[in-house]
Each structure stands twice: as structure tokens, then as C-alpha cells.
Amino acid sequence: MKILVAVKRVVDYNVKVRVKTDHSGVDIDNVKMSMNPFDEIAVEEAVRLKEAGIASEIVVFSAGAPQSQETLRTALAIGADRAILVETTAELQPLAVAKLLQAVYQKEQPQLVLLGKQAIDDDSNQTGQMLAALLDLPQATFASKVTIAEGKANVTREVDGGLETITILLPAIITSDLRLNEPRYVTLPNIMKAKKKAIDILKPEDLGVDITPRLKTLRVDEPPKRTAGVMVADVDALLDKLKNEAKVI
Ligand code: AMP
């Protein structure tokens, strides 16, 4: 079984981003970038499936700036076999990424596509779902457990009320949630080995995909600052504030 995994290069989750002074977006100049954490979980899951003898090949995909090669190298060091970079410095929205993945899917014909449930920069939570729609394939989003057997995937999903387990036929699209696994640390020997693995570099035009953005960002603002808390004298004062100031009861 071949698995295709999508990995995005995003601002590291420890970085506190700042809004640009012209409010056109967030400033990512000289900011630490890393693999989207949910994508790391997706790569780890693919590697575990390979180690269990269920998968035979793992292909990792990324779309974005040339530096996304570093992200792909990390995925190769975790245990992926080869990589595909669709290189562009243009803005990529989820629909464009889903179309690029659709084109790569058609070339590679994997039995499973793993993505993160969302990218922590745009928080869209759309790409996996759009890909499933474009390919007309079954999807299981927010996966916290995946087992593969007899051409099917049993997926436990994190839903609002708790956990839901569904069975979907392969080929399918699965998006990873936080509790699916804990990604391993990348070891130095594996980083060295990853340097020898192949990264195919393509342009969106090579795949015949139009990546023109369909959405326009009007303005980006910082969230409102939280005001300091106050100590209340007693329960009656608290109830009074909740009723008359916050108006929540
Ligand atoms: P989003 O819909 O933007 O929240 O992203 C959901 C998932 O789609 C991510 O966790 C990645 O697995 C994948 N993805 C989104 N953008 C890219 C990209 N530029 N390159 C590779 N994968 C991506």
C-alpha cells in the first residue's frame, strides 16, 4: 500500500506572531518555521503503518516556497521514502492545495492520503475535505485512531460529543487529530539518511493546476487584549457582576 502525506511549512507553534503594520497579514520575516504539528502526526502514522508491514511506500508532498524542502527533509528523516515539492512563492489557499494534491494523487495512485486536520497558520481545516470532494473519495477527519485491514480503514474520530468510529473503504482521505500518536524524535543518522532521498520539484503549471486565490483577505487584526481580572468580595458580588456587567446569567 502506498501512502501520500501532505506536509506544510508553517510558523513554528512556539512563535508569537505579529500583525503587519499595514494589517495585510502576519509578519513572517525572520521567524522560525517548522512542519505543521498535525502533519508531523500524519507522517508518524504513515511510518508506523510501514513499520507494521501495512504500507510499502510513503510519499510526502508539500506546496510552497523553496524552503519547504527543509520540511520535506524532516518528513524523510521521520521515515518517508521520497518527496514531491510543488514550488511556488504565490499565495496558496486550501482549494489550490487540494487541486495540486488531486493532480499528484492521480499520478501516484496511493491507497491512502493523510493530511493534518488543519494548518496552524491559516486554521482553515479545509484541504482534506476539499480533496475528498474533488476525488470523490471517502474521508475520515479528526482521526485519533486508525487501523487498516482488508481494504478498509477503521477510524476513531474526535467529535464534539466524544469519539465516533467509522469504517471507510480505501482509497480514502484521513486527517489527523492531536491524539493520533506522539511523533518520534528525528535522530541524526536518520537526518543523514534523509539527505540521500529524492525530492521531485514541480511547478503548479506542470500539474496543469490554476492556483489563483479565490478569497481576498480584507484586513488582519490582533485579537482584543484581555483585561485584568478583579477580586470580588463575596458570592453575591460575583452574581451581581455576572448578571449586570457580563450579562451571562
Ligand atoms: P488547512 O485546510 O489549510 O487547515 O490544512 C489542512 C492540511 O492540509 C494541513 O495539515 C496539511 O496536511 C495540508 N496542507 C495545507 N496546505 C498545504 C501546503 N501548502 N502543502 C502541503 N500540505 C498542505
Domain extents in the chain = 2-219
CA pair distance 104, 48, nearest whole angstrom: 23
pLDDT tens, residue by residue, 122-166: 999 999 999 999 999 999 999 999 999 999 999 999 999 899 999
% the chain with pLDDT above 70: 100
Distances (CA, A) of 107 to 62, 94, 121: 15, 20, 28
Model pLDDT, residue 18: 92
* Residue 226 pLDDT level (bands cut at 50, 70, 90): confident
Nearest to 128 by CA among 65, 238, 249, 36: 36
Pairwise CA distance, residues 188 & 108, whole Å:
30
Please give all residues whose beta carbon lies within 6 A of any atom in ligand 1, as ranges.
6-8, 36, 38-39, 61-64, 92, 94, 97, 115-116, 118-119, 122, 124-128
Whether residue 199 contacts residue 72, with contact meaning beta carbons closer than 8 Å, is answered with yes
Binned at pLDDT 50, 70 and 90, residue 225 comes out as confident
Which range scores top for mean pLDDT: 23-32, 193-202, 225-234?
A: 193-202
At what angle are helices 94-108 and 127-135 packed, to 10 degrees? 50
CA of 174 to the centre of ligand 1 (A): 12
Q: How far, in Å, from the CA of 127 to the mean position of ligand 1?
A: 6
CATH architecture of 2-219: 3-Layer(aba) Sandwich (3.40)
Write out the H or E segment, with its range, that includes residue 105.
Answer: helix 94-108
